[in-house]
A and B are shown apart, each in its own frame.
Chain A
Amino acid sequence: MDFELSEEQVLLKDSIDRFVKDNYSSEDRIKLSQTDLGFSRDHWKTMAELGWLGMAFSEEVGGFGGGAVETMIMMESMGRGLVLEPFVSTVLLGGALIAEAGNEAQIEAIIPELIEGNLMLSFGYAEAQSRFNLNDVETTASKSGDGYVLNGTKAVVYHGGTADKIVISARTSGASRDADGISLFVVDTDAAGVDIRSYATVDGQRAADVRLENVTVPTTALLGAEGKAGPVIEKIIDRATGALCAEAVGAMTAANEITNEYIKTRKQFGTAIGKFQVLQHRMVDMYMEAEQSKSMSDMVAMKLDLGYEDDTRKAVSAAKAQVGKAAKFVGQQSIQLHGGMGMTDEYSIGHYFKRLTTIEMLFGNTDFHLNRFSNLS
């Protein structure tokens, strides 16, 4: 049992910390998030050159063989700077699905390009009625000639507007909410019948609603066995949830540091407000929530590297439930402790609050994961 990083892992962490320090000042990030794209293609190139896009892939598919722990390290550091590039969408969702379920030809065609930084992906799984239930899929795919015809609407697809290809979950058999009968398709975003409506999300990122109207895809677009994608989706979303917990830890740690610094300098009644015990104790509670989240995030990363069992699923939900609760508390109290300054959009703390707010919802909110934790016992 060991929670310490290896030398190589420390180097990885240092390099991302440096990238964040050099490129993600609060002003830089605000500017970047206000561009049409919402992130920087130059940064994406840098991330490819430094090997980060290939870190999470196994050597068999051309990656660098890092595990969930390496992903955790990267995500925590990126969380500190609220990095905007579509790392989760491209690498941890789209790319991971292809590496997990794809055949040789599909992997060959996509993963090396992705690792090089030439191809961006996204994952459309949620629908308006599905909330967080991954099996609630009403989008359909019907067999037709040499391929499938897809119909349906995917909701809040992060980075759907900038992706070259979107992995879409669709029902090939069974009733809506059946675990069985869900399939995955790799759909080109410029295919006929694909209608992508991109918009901003509150955390400074971009998402899209994706409507598929009689979109024809060849059988080679099918990822894995027909109707058997349910467990694959659950596994990849669980792994991404673990990574999201790490991002939250980074964001909470930074928010706490900023807030702690603020209450040390802000003066009222002739003294730094950090001298008031009521604020000290609040700050301690924020610190403890972040620390406990860090413990859960580390635990989940290590567990994911040991395999994917029932107790791994339970651990992911426990971690997300802790992180969701902590993200809300730390985010909201950071604003409270900043007083009026916390309400201004040009100051950094609000952006941490907004990202932490969306992290609480992403891949299932706190209630959802507490219930899942319970049902898995």
Chain B
Amino acid sequence: MDLSFTNEEVAFKSEVREFIENNLPADVKDRYSRGIHFTKEGQERWQKILNSKGWLAPNWPGEYGGTGWTATQKYIFAQEMGRASAPPPMPFGVSMVGPVIYTFGNQEQKDYYLPRILQSEDWWCQGYSEPGSGSDLASLKTKAVRDGDDYIVNGQKIWTSHAQHANLIFCLVRTDQDVKAQEGISFLLIDMDSPGITLKPIIGLDTEHTLNEVFFDDVRVPVKNRIGEENKGWTYAKFLLGNERTSIARIAQSKLRCEHLREVASAERVDGGLLQDDADFMRKLNQIEVDLMALEYTELRMLSKIEHGETLTAEPSLLKIKGSEIQQRLTELLVESLGMYGAAYEALEVREGRNDQNFAPDYAHGPMAEHLYLRAATIYGGSNEIQRNIISKMVLGL
């Protein structure tokens, strides 16, 4: 047992820190540190910078463009990204469909799609949830019927984040109605420009457009766009969800939020003093910091297991539950720190369109947007209740 970093790891940390400091565009950093949504152009610009360094997809195997880093190096990289308010790459390509393609796809699919993800040529979105299939994902009804070399797809997906920017969607579709729900699902890669696909925005609590409905009306999808075998899609889907969970704990980013909260508390005035002298407020922050530390060392303990060749079972679910709860508590406290300015809120476009900004401190712009958006953190990626079901079954055997 040893907590220290090797000299090489310390050097690596400096290298990462320096690279991000010198290359992260200021506008990208500002949006991300406030917790407001990215622009497609800014996100793409940053992803291309990361990729030019070869750092876009550290988790991928070296042969497909990964970095070949150890688990500790990956941890250091994630910490440094979080510390610098550098947004991670869009997860749908790099963390979700990419690993499915290099694990279960054929050579042609690997050769075509993987480089395009690395070069940010494709924007992916995730076609999982349906109006009747949320937590019970396997009950999905979107249907794909074989017709020669094509599937004809009919149905609807919902809660599809950032689909308006995407040119590709990976989709779970039903290819067999007559078997157990999990055994009749296939995994298709579908061009968003295909005739028969329509998109309808869903305006979220933050009055922003991140979510969408995607409708499929007799959409023709070449059979060669199927990943792996027909009716084995559930296996690939679960593999993807496992990867998704580990990436949504966002520990480094939450650490930065804690620091930011301390800064706000040292600026906000209350009862002739400062918010940082309010014991009740600071106690909440300290409790979150302790919880975050416990989560961080739990993640490190898991990484150590992986480096020793152990396979994780439901541990990622723990990271997802605790990580998302902490994110919510942090943004809630951030809103609380603003006093009545917590109530001031307009969608970004409306706010930026004004010539007459209010007189609130600059840091008051952002927390409510994030507070609203992050209510989804305990719902997406499998709700926290579903995560508890997973731990209950896989670890406790209940």
Nearest B residue to A326 via CB reads B294
Residues in B whose Cβ lies below 8 Å from that of A298: 1, 297, 301
List CB contacts (< 8 Å) of A235-289 with chain B.
Answer: 260, 263-264, 274-275, 277, 279-281, 283-285, 287-288
Q: Are A299 and B389 in contact (CB under 8 A)?
A: no
A-contact bits for B282-320, CB 8 A (1 contact / 0 none) = 110011011101110110110111011000000000100
A295-B300, A322-B291 known; A260 vs B4 contact (CB < 8 Å): no
Closest CB of chain A to B365's CB: distance in Å? 27
Q: Which residue of A lies closest to B291 (CB)?
A: A322
- In angstroms, Cα B396 to Cα A287, docked, is 9
**B395–A280 touching, CB < 8 Å:** no
Complex formed: what's the CA distance from A86 to B124 in Å? Answer: 61
Q: Is A302 an interface residue (CB 8 A)?
A: yes
A42 at the binding interface (Cβ < 8 Å)? no
Q: Is A370 an interface residue (CB 8 A)?
A: yes
Stretch at the interface among A1-9, A101-109, A190-198, A210-218: A1-9
Decide if B287 touches A69 in the complex (CB within 8 Å): no
Q: Does A306 contact B (CB under 8 A)?
A: yes
The answer to whether B398 touches A274, judged by C-beta atoms less than 8 angstroms apart, is: yes
- How many CB-defined contacts (below 8 Å) exist between A and B? 113
| B-side interface mostly | helix
Residues of A within 8 A of B282 (CB): 374
Q: A2 near B2 (CB under 8 angstroms)?
A: yes
> What sequence of 0s and 1s flags, for each residue 38-69 of chain A, a beta carbon within 8 Å of any chain B beta carbon?
00000000000000000000000000000001
CB proximity to A under 8 Å, residues B117-154: none
Residue of A nearest to B391 (CB): A284
Known A-B contacts A295-B298, A296-B297; A303 and B3 likewise in contact (beta carbons under 8 Å): yes
Chain B residues with Cβ under 8 A from A299's Cβ? Answer: 3, 297, 300
Partner of B300 from the list A3, A5, A288, A370 (CB cut-off 8 Å) is A3
Task: Say yes or no for A294: interface residue by CB 8 A criterion.
Answer: yes
Interface residues of B in 345-398 (CB under 8 A from A): 385, 388-389, 391-392, 395-398
Q: Distance in Å from the Cβ of A71 to the closest Cβ of chain B?
A: 12
CB-based contact A264/B297 at 8 Å: no
Contact A3 B389 (CB under 8 A): no
For B299, give the chain A residue with the smallest CB separation.
A295
Given A264-B398, A283-B396, A296-B294: A9 and B322 within 8 A (CB)?
no
Task: List residues 1-25 of chain B with CB under 8 A from any CB of chain A.
Answer: 1-5, 9
- Per-residue contact bits, chain B 256-297, to A (CB 8 Å; 1 contact, 0 not): 000000000000000000000000001100110111011101
| A120 vs B60: C-alpha distance when bound (angstroms) | 57
| Interchain CB contact under 8 A, A3 and B388 | no
| CB contact under 8 A between A284 and B283, given known A1-B3, A298-B1 | no
- Contacts of B397 on A, CB cut-off 8 Å? 260, 264
Decide yes or no whether B158 CB sits under 8 A from chain A: no
Which residues of B lie under 8 Å from residue A301 when comparing CB positions?
1
Q: Which of B72, B286, B321 contacts A373 (CB 8 A)?
A: B286
A96 beta carbon closer than 8 Å to chain B: no
Q: Do A280 and B304 contact each other (CB < 8 Å), given the known contacts A1-B4, A274-B398, A306-B4?
A: no
Bound CA span A296–B298, Å: 8
Closest B residue by C-beta to A321: B290
B residues less than 8 Å from A291 (CB atoms): 298, 318
Q: At the interface, yes or no: A348 with Cβ under 8 Å from chain B?
A: no
Task: Determine whether the beta carbon of B398 is less than 8 Å from that of A318.
Answer: no
Known: A296-B297, A306-B3. A373 touches B289 (CB 8 A): yes
Residues of A within 8 A of B (CB): 1-6, 9, 69, 260, 263-264, 274-275, 277, 279-281, 283-285, 287-288, 291-296, 298-299, 301-303, 306, 315, 318, 321-322, 370-371, 373-374
B residues lining the A interface (CB < 8 Å): 1-5, 9, 72, 75, 282-283, 286-287, 289-291, 293-295, 297-298, 300-301, 303-305, 307-308, 318, 321-322, 385, 388-389, 391-392, 395-398
**A-B contacts, 13 listed (Cβ < 8 Å):** A2-B2, A4-B304, A69-B1, A280-B396, A280-B398, A283-B396, A283-B398, A284-B396, A293-B294, A295-B301, A298-B1, A322-B293, A322-B294
Known A3-B305, A284-B392, A306-B4; 6 more pairs at CB < 8 Å: A1-B9, A1-B304, A260-B396, A291-B318, A306-B3, A374-B282
